[in-house]
């Protein structure tokens, strides 16, 4: 090396990468599953001065030398990151995050600000995919607005764990409905049956001290027409969203729609005399978040017939909301208690376009790094505390609270 007074950085990086491969022949085979301490050793080989940074040229050389162990789309994304660093350096933590498939917020910003365009063909144009690969690609185009995110998801998704949350909730809702239908001998407009409110899962204002009712009411539906629409929307929208964003995040949006702002707590404040049934709060939260995400990223979303499908979704939601309003003011089958409230539908939309949008717009990003996330969490926490105190004290001021079923 002393015979060459000033070799170019790319040549030096390639030579150094070849030397590392000779010293550590087994490293290449273990690269995808290597722990963080292995990345430290590898990083130090490129950073002999322990500065905590390596040049983008060396990073590119590392990627090229291990290209056979990297998914092609991920290699393309990582090369784009290397080209996006204007200072020509990559820090150790970014290096570990990238090679370990941990996409930080700085990763997203670097890609968006990068000066290298993805040169390969779009994921939609790839041929020869099997059925499962086409399904994953379809889900990516249904939910993600950026091609770089779609490619990353396509290479990363393993169906482990499967979208268990939405499927489990849906099966439980169907099971409880069938059991209740057999018990009441009524499946259409079950809510009009005189014994309907006696079920221990329904939220009732006189029984608000039984805390489980604030959540379990989602397993009770007004009738097969109510259950049918919720189940269809949960499966068509909720399952793909869970496949992309995971059960934790989608479950958070769903449960927030059921319990907090739009759900039983909101009804206990805005419609104090009415009971609550059905999972519409959680369903409307997911649907509203997804539709808002499509509108905000209209040019990037490549799902087919998106305008027509949005119109159909809005029509279905409006029809269901109209049914709920009509039922609420229809003469009650168990006076003086009215039929179930429709407030949960409205609140579900509020959760979807606030908390839900933050979750869906930050694919694989740390939510705790987003300022809007903390703003909405603070708002919901304040509302929950307010609703709890309201349930403790305000009901004593209401003279005409309906008797328990």
Higher pLDDT, 378 or 126: 378
Chain centroid to CA 390: 31
> Can you read off the two tokens belonging to residue 182?
């057999």
Q: Give the pLDDT confidence score for residue 237 in this predicted structure.
A: 92
Q: Give the pLDDT confidence score for residue 157 in this predicted structure.
A: 85
Could you tell me the pLDDT band of residue 265, with boundaries at 50, 70 and 90? Answer: confident
Mean pLDDT of 375-381: 85
Q: What size, in residues, is the chain?
A: 405
Higher pLDDT, 195 or 114: 195
Q: Give the pLDDT confidence score for residue 101 in this predicted structure.
A: 54
> Can you read off the two tokens belonging to residue 141?
């185009």
Which has the minimum average pLDDT: 170-174, 242-246, 336-340? 336-340
Find the DSSP H helices in 114-238. Answer: 131-143, 147-156, 164-184, 213-216, 224-233
Q: Give the pLDDT confidence score for residue 36 in this predicted structure.
A: 53
Q: Give the pLDDT confidence score for residue 12 in this predicted structure.
A: 43
pLDDT over 70 percentage in the chain: 72
Tally the C-alpha atoms within 13 A of residue 321's C-alpha that lie toward its C-beta: 16
The span from the CA of 358 to the CA of 346, in Å, is: 19
The span from the CA of 227 to the CA of 177, in Å, is: 8
Which residue out of 61, 65, 280, 288 is catalytically annotated? 280
The residues that bridge with 53 in the sheet, in sequence order, are 91
Mean pLDDT of 89-103: 63
Chain centroid to CA 3: 57
Place of tokens 């909720």: 238
Angular region, 145: left φ>0, alpha ψ -120 to 50, beta rest:
alpha
| pLDDT above 50 for 109 | no
Mean pLDDT of 49-76: 68
Predicted TM-score of the model (pTM): 0.71
The residues that bridge with 54 in the sheet, in sequence order, are 90
Sign of CA dihedral 367, 373, 379, 382: positive
Could you tell me the pLDDT band of residue 247, with boundaries at 50, 70 and 90? Answer: very high
| pLDDT above 50 for 130 | yes
- Average pLDDT of the chain is 77
Host H or E run for residue 51 = none
Q: Give the pLDDT confidence score for residue 399 in this predicted structure.
A: 63
The span from the CA of 292 to the CA of 285, in Å, is: 11
Place of tokens 């322990």: 50
Which has the minimum average pLDDT: 3-12, 76-85, 102-111, 341-350? 3-12
Mean pLDDT of 286-295: 90
Which of 338, 312, 318, 317 shows the shortest CA–CA distance to 327? 338
Could you tell me the pLDDT band of residue 21, with boundaries at 50, 70 and 90? Answer: very low
| Contact criterion met (CB below 8 Å) for 374 and 179 | no
| pLDDT above 70 for 15 | no
| Contact criterion met (CB below 8 Å) for 255 and 359 | no
Q: Give the pLDDT confidence score for residue 189 in this predicted structure.
A: 86
Annotated catalytic residue 279: no
CB atoms near residue 82 (< 10 Å): 23
- End-to-end distance of the chain based on CA atoms, in angstroms? 88
Could you tell me the pLDDT band of residue 93, with boundaries at 50, 70 and 90? Answer: low
Q: Give the pLDDT confidence score for residue 112 in this predicted structure.
A: 47
Which has the minimum average pLDDT: 251-260, 345-354, 359-368? 359-368
Which has the minimum average pLDDT: 101-105, 110-114, 269-273? 110-114
The span from the CA of 385 to the CA of 313, in Å, is: 33
Q: Give the pLDDT confidence score for residue 286 in this predicted structure.
A: 93
The span from the CA of 294 to the CA of 145, in Å, is: 8
Q: Give the pLDDT confidence score for residue 166 in this predicted structure.
A: 95
Higher pLDDT, 228 or 389: 228
Chain centroid to CA 197: 33
| pLDDT above 60 for 276 | yes
| pLDDT above 50 for 25 | no
Alpha-carbon Rg for the chain, nearest whole angstrom, is: 27
Q: Give the pLDDT confidence score for residue 4 in this predicted structure.
A: 42
Could you tell me the pLDDT band of residue 393, with boundaries at 50, 70 and 90? Answer: confident
Q: Give the pLDDT confidence score for residue 234 in this predicted structure.
A: 92
Mean pLDDT of 53-74: 67
Tell me the DSSP string of 285-341. Answer: HHHHHHHHHHHHTTTT---TTHHHHHHHHHHHHHHHHHHHHHHHHSPPSSTTSPPPP
Tell me the DSSP string of 356-387. Answer: IHHHHHSTTS-GGG-HHHHHHHHHHHHHHHHH
| Contact criterion met (CB below 8 Å) for 356 and 254 | no
Annotated catalytic residue 280: yes
For residue 100, whether the previous peptide bond is cis, meaning omega lies within 30 degrees of 0, is no
- The answer for residues whose C-beta is within 8 angstroms of residue 266's C-beta and 6 or more apart is 260, 343, 344, 347, 387
| Contact criterion met (CB below 8 Å) for 157 and 171 | no
Domains of the chain (ranges; CATH) run: 9-120 (1.10.238), 122-160 (no CATH), 164-397 (1.20.1540.10)
| pLDDT above 80 for 186 | yes
């Amino acid at each position: 090396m002393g015979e060459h007074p000033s070799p170019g950085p790319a040549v030096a990086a390639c030579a150094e990468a070849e030397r590392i491969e000779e010293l550590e022949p087994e490293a290449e085979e273990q690269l995808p599953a290597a722990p963080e301490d292995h990345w430290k050793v590898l990083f130090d080989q490129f950073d002999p001065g322990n500065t905590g940074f390596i040049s983008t040229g060396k990073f590119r050389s590392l990627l090229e030398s291990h290209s056979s162990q990297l998914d092609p789309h991920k290699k393309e994304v990582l090369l784009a990151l290397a080209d996006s660093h204007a200072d020509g350096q990559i820090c150790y933590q970014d290096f570990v995050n990238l090679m370990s498939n941990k996409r930080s917020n700085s990763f997203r910003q670097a890609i968006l600000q990068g000066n290298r365009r993805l040169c390969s063909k779009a994921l939609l144009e790839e041929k020869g995919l099997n059925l499962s690969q086409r399904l994953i690609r379809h889900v990516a185009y249904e939910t993600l607005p950026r091609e770089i995110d779609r490619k990353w998801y396509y290479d990363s998704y393993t169906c482990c764990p499967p979208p268990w949350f939405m499927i489990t909730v849906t099966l439980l809702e169907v099971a409880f409905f069938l059991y209740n239908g057999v018990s009441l001998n009524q499946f259409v407009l079950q809510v009009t049956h005189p014994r309907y409110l006696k079920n221990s899962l329904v939220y009732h204002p006189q029984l608000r001290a039984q805390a489980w009712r604030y959540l379990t009411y989602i397993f009770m539906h007004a009738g097969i027409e109510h259950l049918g629409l919720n189940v269809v929307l949960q499966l068509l929208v909720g399952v793909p969203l869970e496949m992309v964003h995971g059960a934790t995040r989608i479950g958070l949006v769903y449960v927030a729609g059921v319990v907090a702002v739009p759900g039983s707590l909101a009804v206990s404040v805005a419609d104090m005399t009415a009971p609550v049934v059905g999972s519409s709060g959680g369903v409307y939260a997911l649907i509203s978040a997804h539709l808002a995400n499509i509108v905000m990223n209209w040019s990037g979303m490549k799902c087919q017939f998106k305008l027509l499908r949005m119109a159909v979704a809005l029509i279905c939601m409006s029809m269901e909301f109209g049914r709920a309003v009509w039922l609420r003011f229809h003469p009650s089958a168990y006076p003086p208690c009215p039929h179930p409230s429709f407030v949960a539908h409205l609140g579900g939309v509020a959760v979807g376009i606030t908390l839900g949008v933050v979750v869906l717009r930050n694919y694989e990003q740390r939510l705790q790094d987003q300022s809007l996330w903390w703003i909405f969490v603070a708002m919901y926490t304040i509302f929950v505390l307010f609703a709890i105190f309201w349930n403790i004290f305000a009901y004593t001021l209401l003279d005409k609270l309906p008797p328990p079923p």
